[in-house]
Amino acid sequence: MEHIFYGKSFSRPIGYKIMFEESPRDGDHHVGGDEWTLPNCRLCETPMHQLVCLDLKDDRLSELRGEHCEELALFSCLNCSMLWEKQFFKLDFPNQSAAVIKQEQEEFEKADDEDQITAPLRHVPVSLVEMEAEDYPTSEERYDELFTALGTAYFGRVFGKPLLAEDELDLTCCECGQDMTFVALITGENDFDEKYGDLFFGEVILYFSLCPACHILKVEAQSI
């Protein structure tokens, strides 16, 4: 069966664009940084990359907030093939640390030395800007246009119905079996200015989902 990834139903719920150089007002959201203690990648054994930190004190993200859940880090290894398969992490919010639960990647392919992205990524403040009508994939034309905007006008999308490149997301939590909450997607194919650091990590979108009950963070990838 062919999947349809656009249409009227994609105009809600409300989503936000992760944008550089908008004046940050609501919350201390940022790209990069190293506030969280992240596990080393099981495949290439190098430190993982903290990609985006969302400030959960921002009321727009209140559904992700819990006791001691003040900041949510979205992360992955960007230097090997691990990011191409599903990854599950357990988050320890009070200590701002994470552990690997499961990585489904078996084949190991490491980026060449000259292509290695050093961790941590540069800390750059970002804003969450509410999407406008043209930012939702309500038609095939808009769906196609969004893949151009993603990675040029903005770095990722928070909430909203996920913009899908290849397939539906599997949001089942690996611990409790309930549906996880889709949090954000981030594109690895982008052409942002070097002043934000090295953010190109391939023709891929990473999708991040959270189980609010188990504090499991799931990362899955689709190629674009």
Q: Does 44 bind Zn ion (CB under 5 A)?
A: yes
Burial class (CB in 10 A: 0-12, 13-18, 19+), 75: buried
Q: Of the listed pieces 19-27, 111-119, 176-184, 186-194, which binds Zn ion according to CB under 5 A?
A: 176-184
User: 11 and 138 in contact (C-beta within 8 Å)?
Assistant: yes
Q: Does 175 bind Zn ion (CB under 5 A)?
A: yes
Per DSSP, helices labelled H in the chain are 140-149
CB of 43 or CB of 54, closer to Zn ion: 43
Q: Does 53 bind Zn ion (CB under 5 A)?
A: no
CB of 27 or CB of 188, closer to Zn ion: 188
Q: Does 211 bind Zn ion (CB under 5 A)?
A: yes
Q: Which of 21, 107, 176, 203 binds Zn ion (CB under 5 A)?
A: 176
Could you say which residues in the range 58-97 bind Zn ion, by CB under 5 A? 77, 80, 82
Residue 50 CB, nearest distance to Zn ion (Å)?
14
Q: How distant, in Å, are the alpha carbons of 25, 29, 33, 185, 200 from that of 127?
A: 7, 6, 15, 15, 20
| DSSP conformational letter for 23 | P
Beta bridge partners of 129: 17
Q: Does 104 bind Zn ion (CB under 5 A)?
A: no
Residue 161 CB, nearest distance to Zn ion (Å)?
21
Nearest partner of 51 among 203, 195, 200, judged by Cα: 200
Could you say which residues in the range 124-153 bind Zn ion, by CB under 5 A? none
Q: Count CB-CB contacts under 10 A for residue 50.
A: 24
| DSSP conformational letter for 205 | E
Interface contacts to Zn ion, rule CB under 5 A: 41, 43-44, 77, 80, 82, 173, 175-176, 211, 213-214
